[in-house]
Every structure is written in C-alpha cells, then in structure tokens.
Structure 1
Amino acid sequence: MDLDAFSTVHTPAWDRLAALVRRRRLDGAESDELVRLYQEVATHLSTVRSAAPDPVLVTRLSDLLTRARARIAGAHEPAWADIVRFTVVTVPAALYRVRWWTLGVVVACLAVAVVVGVHVATDPDALAAMGTPAEREAYVREAFVAYYDPRASFAAMVWTNNAWLSAQVIALGVTGIGPLYVLAENAISVGATGGMMAAYGELDTFLQLIAPHGQLELTAVFVAGAAGLRTFWAIVDPGPRKRSLALAQEGRALVTCAIGLAGALAVSGLIEGFVTGSGLAWWLKIAIGTVALAGFWAYVLLLGRRAVRAGATGDLSQDQAGAVTPTAG
C-alpha cells in the first residue's frame, strides 16, 4: 500500500474529526458526523496496522481515536465528586435507614448493662466472680484509670480494637445470632465493670472515664449491630423482593455503614486517646464527647433524611450494582 497516497486521500477526514473533537459544543448533525468519522478513522487505523504499520501514523491515529472516543462516551465525574456524594448522600442514607433498629439495640444493650451492673454491685457472689479481692482492688484503684493513657499509639490501638469489634458484628450480621452474641458480650462486660467500680465506691470515676468517648464509641457499635440485624431480617422478611436480591442490597448497604462507622470510631478513638485521660476538667471532657455524639446524629438524621427522600438507600447506584427486575409493593 502506498502510505503517502493513503494519507493524502484520508487526511481531510482525520482533520475534520480532530476539529470536531476540539469543539466545546456540537449540534445533532455534528454529533452524528463525529460518530461516523470515528468509525471511519478506526477502519483506517486497522488498515495501516495490517498493511503498512508506520509507527508515526499509527500513533497519530490512535491518539485521535482516543480523544474522539472520550468525547463520544463522555467523561466520568471526577473522583472527588464520587467521594463527596458517598460521604454526604450514600453513607448517611445507609445509617438513617437503620435508625429505628439502632434505637432498639441501644435500649436492649443499656438494659442488659444496667441489670448486670446492679447484680455485680449488690451480689457478693457475682462480685467474687470478677476476681480475687486483691485483683479487684488493683483494677479499681489503679488499672482502670491507668488504662486511659493519652498518646497517639493508644488512640490508634483503641480505634483498631473498636473497628475490629464493629467488623465482627457486621460480618456476622447475616447469621442473626452473631450480632446478638457480640452485643450481649459487650453489654455484659461494660455492665460488670461498672458494677465492680460501684461496689468499691468508684462509680463516678467509671462514668467520668467512659462518658467522654463512650457516647460515640458505643453508639457506633450499636449501629453496627443494628445494621447486621437488618441484613439478617432481609432474609427472614424480604418483602416483595427475592431473598437473594434483598440480601445483596442490604449487604452492600451494610458495607456502606461499616465505612461510615470507621470514621465515627476514629473520632471516638481520638477522644479516648487524647481527651479521656487528659488533665481537662471532667465537665469539659464529657461536653466534648456529647458534641461528638450530637454531630454524628445530626449527620445521620439531617443528611440521611434528605438522602432517603431523594431515593438513596446506601446501596450502589444502578449502573454500579446492575439493573434488577422491578417489583411491586
């Protein structure tokens, strides 16, 4: 093939395609011409590659087709736009949808913790099960307070532990029993510790050290449990959806909840690492924890309500998750 003659004949088409690609706006006829020329130039590139693979011409046509293909297909939204939407729409929608489940988990766990705490504080046998008198004395007088050592490594350790606990609740959500077991174990542990502190007259110390970070930390764990239980309930009662579809949708929303809770637990970890054990006044420490909790619920209720009303569920968008068969109800 005579490459020079081939280029002379088809250069007007290549130049026209390049001109269309550079234009900011195209009318209907120009858009049709862009697609037609794209297909024509693609054929030219294939011919050159097979008959006379000149590297300069191949590079020129490949670059032209790449730009034309991007113009035809349209550019994807910048990554930051996806991150912003995920943060202000997807995550709060997922958390908002489990708000009533969260309330149920909060009430149940607090009830268990209080009952266990009262039992340990008032029953000598239950108190004895917490350890020997020397061990209990050392824990109440020294170890409990010494645990909250303000430093960065401690904050990182706290965040890791809490994230692991929430991950267990979320991962075991589909079983139904798993979240209940982890939540009950956590409630019993907190209640028993509080009861032991109360038995030694240190309930105020317990509450002062738990309240700054515990408000947000425990809420995040409760939300994780609620999200896990909701996923299990999607299998029990999928509504008009197929069980497999309901599980897939709620499971993806569960992952969204987990990502959102990782942020909340990071904040509670910073409070526990740098505020709880600091020299600040107790009222200020508790106020900081309360503000953090209020911020979390404002994020969930205000942004979440708006997102859900707009149709968000915390699941992937249809083009990411795939289309599903419409169902009535």
Structure 2
Amino acid sequence: MDVDAFVLVHRDTWDRLEKLVKNRRRLTGAEVDELVELYQRVSTHLSMLRSASSDSALIGRLSTLVARARAVVTGAHAPMTGTIIRFWTVAFPVVAYRVWRWWLATALAFFALVAVIALWVATSPEIQSVIGTPSDIDELVNHDFASYYREHPAGSFALQVWANNSLVAAKCIAFAVLLGLPIPLVLFQNAANLGVISGLMFQAGKGAILLGLLTPHGLLELTAVFLAAAAGMRLGWTVISPGQRPRSQVLAEQGRAMVSIAVGLVAVLLVSGAIEALVTPSPLPTVVRVGVGITAEAAFLTYIVYFGSRAARAGRTGDVEDAPDTLPTG
C-alpha cells in the first residue's frame, strides 16, 4: 500500500468525521446517519493502516478519532454488564493465556529454586545453626507454623493475606517500568522463604503438615504471583525487543494488558485469601482441604485456557477496543 496516496485519498473523509464528532450535540438526523457511516469506513481505514504502515503518529490520530466517533455512536446506552462480561471472558483470560510461556518458565524456575534451597537447609546442620537455635527451630516446626493460620479471626486474616499477596503481585507489575529487572529478586526472596521453611519442616518429619497447610491456598496464590511476574517481565522485554512494530505501539498495547492482569488478579487473590483464612485452618480432613486447593487451581487454569484460547483463535488481544496505538505524551 502507498500510504501517502492512501492519506491523500481519504483525508477529507477523516476531516469530515472529526467535524461531525466535534459538533455531535447539534447534528441533524442525516448527519447522524453520515457519522455512523463514516465511523464504519474510517474504522476500516484504521485496520488497513495498522497492517500496512508503521507511522505511529498517523495510526494514533486515527485510533483516537475512531474511539471518539465510537463513543458518539454508542452513546451512554452501552450496558456496563457488557463491559464486565467482556473483561472476564476476553480481556483478562486472553492476556494471561498469551503469556503462558513466561508464566510456565517462571513457575518452573521458582519451584526448582525452592527445591534446591530446601534440600540445602534439610541436609546442612551448619545452615540450620545460622537460621536459629535448636529450640527456635523446634518451636517453629512444632508450633509456630501451624498456629500462624489459627491465631487470627478468619475475616481479618483473609484481609491481611489478600493485602500481602496483592502487594507481592503489585510489585511484580510495578517493576515492569524498570524493564522487569527487579522481578526475579522479588521471586527469589519468596522462593528462599519457602525453601527454608520447607527444608526445616521436612528435616523434622513435618513435611505432610507443611503440604497440608500450604497446598489449599498456595497453589492459587503462587499461580497469581507467577502470572503477575510473567506479565511484568514480558512488558520489560517489550521495551528491549518490540519486534516489527514501533516500540511505542507495542508498549502501549502491553501496558494496557498489564492493567487487565492487575484487575483480574485482585479477584483471584481474594479467592486465595478466603481459602487461606477459611479452609486452611479448618478442622476438615487434610485430603478435603487439599482437594479444595487443587479444585480452585484447576478451575482457574481451565478458565484461562478455555476463554483465553478461544479469544486468541478469534484474533483478540485483550486490548481496549479502538484504543490509541501509542503511549500518551506530554
């Protein structure tokens, strides 16, 4: 496509649509019909330019124009329920699905590190002596670890857990602006903590208690953290290697995807926190508590795979409809 010739041919159409949008409160019936027709036509122009041009300024201008025209055409009658349904069936799952390789790699690296640290702690009396005295370790593995889940009222404990887990996920998302470089450090700190306690518990013969208390909520909780970390690191990598499209365009798209991840994980971590406060310390048999955790994890992964793969096959990216293609500048 000759972009310059395309612009010359269609510039008057774009200018006319912009004029109608500006005068939206004073349009006649015929002008309203014209605005709808031009909106559809310019939307097609935008789609063609996105696939054929790397002119981010031109694409950004048309994206903004189409978004404004769409707001006029749809007005205030678009139901909020439609937006909510689209978020949970398209935007969040497809963004999570598209980062599955980063997500899986993050999980594998995390658990490998936990296993190495746990083995090191369990087989090294020198390391255990650095961690604490024998009486301190005995108190931890025989009392403190289990009592942690029972010493607070369920409601306040759920809120505390949700706030703590959300903070970890928020750090992963926020560190994306630093190319994602601090994210491995955040994961390392959490892996080290889990590895140390695992090593001490298994060395003391309390491995079953550890797994029985961590599995119900830990599967979903860690999955959410891995997703946040994966999305953050992918956004950081986008700055380094944007591919064939302009860096600003790709970065804007990935940045909006991070918003979807952040909002979606609020709900996921609420579920995880509720399980940790209500199921983990409950008198239910261990097999039932673990079953709740596995069921919640399986349900979440099935949800992501089903809706995410379906949206991906349909060519959806989870991005805001008619969103500008570049980051806003001052």
Does TM-score exceed 0.5, indicating one fold?
Answer: yes
Q: Which whole-Å CA distance do the structure 2 matches of 1:74 and 1:252 have between them?
A: 23
Is the CA contact 1:112–1:187 (under 8 Å) kept in the aligned structure 2? Answer: yes
Structure 1 position 264, deviation (Å): 1.1
Structure 1 position 35, deviation (Å): 7.8
Match of 1:276 among 266, 273, 280: 280
Q: What's the % identity of the aligned pairs? A: 42
Distance 1:81 1:128, change over 3 A: same
Q: Which residue of 1 aligns with 2:163?
A: 160
Unaligned runs of 5+ in 2: 1-27, 35-70
2:126 counterpart of 1:128: no
Distance 1:152 1:32, change over 3 A: same
1:149-197 per-position Cα deviation (integer Å, ceiling 9, x unaligned): 2611111110110000110011112322211110111111101110011
State the SS of the aligned residue for 1:172: helix
2:310 counterpart of 1:306: yes
2:227 counterpart of 1:223: yes
Structure 1 position 312, deviation (Å): 2.0
- Runs ≥4 in structure 1, deviation > 3 angstroms? 33-36, 70-76
2:107 counterpart of 1:106: yes
Is the CA contact 1:116–1:191 (under 8 Å) kept in the aligned structure 2? Answer: yes
Structure 1 position 202, deviation (Å): 1.0
Q: Which residue of 2 aligns with 1:147?
A: 148
Q: Which whole-Å CA distance do the structure 1 matches of 2:305 and 2:286 have between them?
A: 28
Structure 1 position 311, deviation (Å): 2.3
Structure 1 position 83, deviation (Å): 1.0
Q: Which residue of 2 aligns with 1:17?
A: none
Distance 1:310 1:138, change over 3 A: same
Is the CA contact 1:113–1:191 (under 8 Å) kept in the aligned structure 2? Answer: yes
Is the CA contact 1:217–1:265 (under 8 Å) kept in the aligned structure 2? Answer: yes
Match of 1:169 among 168, 172, 190: 172
- Name the amino acid aligned to 1:103: L
Q: Which residue of 2 aligns with 1:91?
A: 92
Match of 1:257 among 241, 257, 261: 261
Q: Which whole-Å CA distance do the structure 2 matches of 1:79 and 1:148 have between them?
A: 39
C-alpha RMSD of matched pairs (Å)? 2.1
Q: Which whole-Å CA distance do the structure 2 matches of 1:125 and 1:253 have between them?
A: 46
Structure with bigger gyration radius: 1
Q: Which whole-Å CA distance do the structure 1 matches of 2:88 and 2:177 have between them?
A: 25
User: Normalising by the residue count of structure 2, what TM-score does the alignment of the two structures yield?
Assistant: 0.75
Distance 1:310 1:128, change over 3 A: same
State the SS of the aligned residue for 2:283: coil
Structure 1 position 129, deviation (Å): 2.0
1:11-52 per-position Cα deviation (integer Å, ceiling 9, x unaligned): xxxxxxxxxxxxxxxxxxx9428889xxxxxxxxxxxxxxxx
Unaligned runs of 5+ in 1: 1-29, 37-69, 325-329
Q: Which whole-Å CA distance do the structure 2 matches of 1:166 and 1:258 have between them?
A: 8
User: Normalising by the residue count of structure 1, what TM-score does the alignment of the two structures yield?
Assistant: 0.75
Structure 1 position 237, deviation (Å): 1.1
Greater relative CO, 1 or 2 (CA 8 Å, sep 6+): 2
State the SS of the aligned residue for 2:284: coil
State the SS of the aligned residue for 1:276: coil
Aligned residues: 260
State the SS of the aligned residue for 1:177: coil
Q: Which residue of 2 aligns with 1:322?
A: 324
Structure 1 position 307, deviation (Å): 1.1
Is the CA contact 1:163–1:265 (under 8 Å) kept in the aligned structure 2? Answer: yes
